[in-house]
Structure 1
Amino acid sequence: MKALTIRQPWASAIAHGTKRTENRSWPVPAKHLGTRILIHAAAAEDRTPRLSSDVPVELTKGIGVWPDTRSAILGVATLASCHFDEGCCTPWGMDGYFHWELADVAVLPEPVTAKGSLGFWTPTADALNAVTAQQTGVAW
């Protein structure tokens, strides 16, 4: 299973909130579409988090309340589809980026510490075992 590192607060917005669109400058490689991936929170935060003016306050109230876990796997999701911005995917889609649509998101009961990487990466056997051990109650 591959993992994708996402900076905070966006990793938590996916795992604990309602964010189901990840914005990237590159499209999802075809081999990853439709697969389950691990959502990993980066060590660093997004120093310039931008929210579209379309994002309703009720969707963002979790920012600052969601756990600010870093360098850990927070959950799992399905990479359902990918397309270039067409003024769509409100409220989370950003103009001029590829929108990676996530589905079937499930938060892990306990974050799994792991060092991330750019792009898709494969977690260590220990990290995967720790994630797998939490399968009860998590949609895989």
Structure 2
Amino acid sequence: MKALTIWQPWASLIIAGAKPYEFRSWRPPASIVGQRIVIHAASRKIDVEEACLLYRVLANRTASPEIAAMAAETCLHAELALPILGGAWMPYRAKLPMSCGIGTAIVGEPRLGTEIAAEFGVLRANDSDRDDHANWGWPMLDIEAWVEPVPMRGKQGLWNWPQPEWAAS
């Protein structure tokens, strides 16, 4: 099974169903479309400033048309994202898992970022402050959260999740 390492809080947002698309600058290989992949939470420190800003935008999405537009650009489902984003930066909340597999998803047929943005009623998808990362949206379908995170060192791009010894027989 292939795995994809994703920075937090984005990995947990996928597993919670709050982030229906993983945005990448590249189209997924045809071999993984329709296949289940492991969602691996990276070891990279959470960008607390980014998580805090996202939380505030989503929490205040009804305050003004401008904030509503900013919330729509994230392509996140606010009601599902807020608890995760709150846990990413509020010190009294549990920390998000890092450097581990946290669940699986089936990769759907990839879509252009501009098509997905239109679905959310905006001109462009912007779930992060990184430029040119949203060319392709990979639908994350049929999410299966794992009860316990599985510690594992991640890699860039798609990589092979090790098969447990017991599964080989």
Normalised by the shorter chain, which TM-score bucket? 0.7 to 0.9
Corresponding position of 1:33: 33
The alignment status of 1:61 with 2:91, answered yes or no, reads no
Letter in 1 for 2:86: G
Distance apart, 1:56 and its partner CA: 5.8
Q: Which range moved further: 34-43 or 94-103?
A: 94-103
Once residues 15 and 102 of structure 1 are traced to their aligned partners in structure 2, the CA distance between those partners, rounded to angstroms, is: 9
Checking the alignment, whether the CA contact within 8 Å between 2:16 and 2:80 is kept in structure 1 is: no
Hey, what's the Cα distance between the residues in 1 that align with 2:24 and 2:80? 21
- 2:160 maps to 1:122: yes
Tell which structure's C-alpha radius of gyration is larger: 2
Q: Tell me the secondary structure at the aligned position of residue 109 of structure 2.
A: strand
What is the identity percentage for the equivalent residue pairs of Structure 1 and Structure 2? 33
| Structure whose residues are more often strand by fraction | 1
Structure 1 length normalisation: TM-score? 0.77
Which stretches in structure 2 are left out of the alignment for 5+ residues? 55-69, 89-94, 127-133
Q: Where do 1:16-55 residues align within 5 Å?
A: 16-45=16-45, 47=47, 48=50, 51=54, 52-54=70-72, 55=76
Q: Partners in 2 of 1:30 and 1:7 — Cα distance?
A: 23
Task: Tell me the amino acid that sits aligned with residue 29 of structure 1.
Answer: P
| More divergent stretch after superposition (13-22 vs 58-67) | 58-67
SS in 2 for 1:53: helix
Task: Return 22-31 or 64-73, whichever deviates more.
Answer: 64-73
Structure 2 equivalent of residue 137 of structure 1? none
Pairs within 5 Å for 1:75-86: 75-86=103-114
Cα deviation per residue 1:114-139 (whole Å; 9 max; x = unaligned)? 000011101234xx459x7xxxxxxx
Q: Which runs of 4+ in 1 moved over 6 A?
A: none
Question: What is the letter of the counterpart of residue 28 of structure 2?
Answer: V
**Which of residues 114, 120, 123 is equivalent to 1:90?**
120
Equivalenced residue count is 128
Higher helix share: 2
- Give the superposed CA RMSD: 2.6
The alignment's TM-score, normalised by the length of structure 2, stands at 0.65
User: What letter is aligned with 1:82?
Assistant: P
Provide the C-alpha distance between the structure 1 equivalents of 2:34 and 2:87, rounded to a whole number of angstroms.
Answer: 30
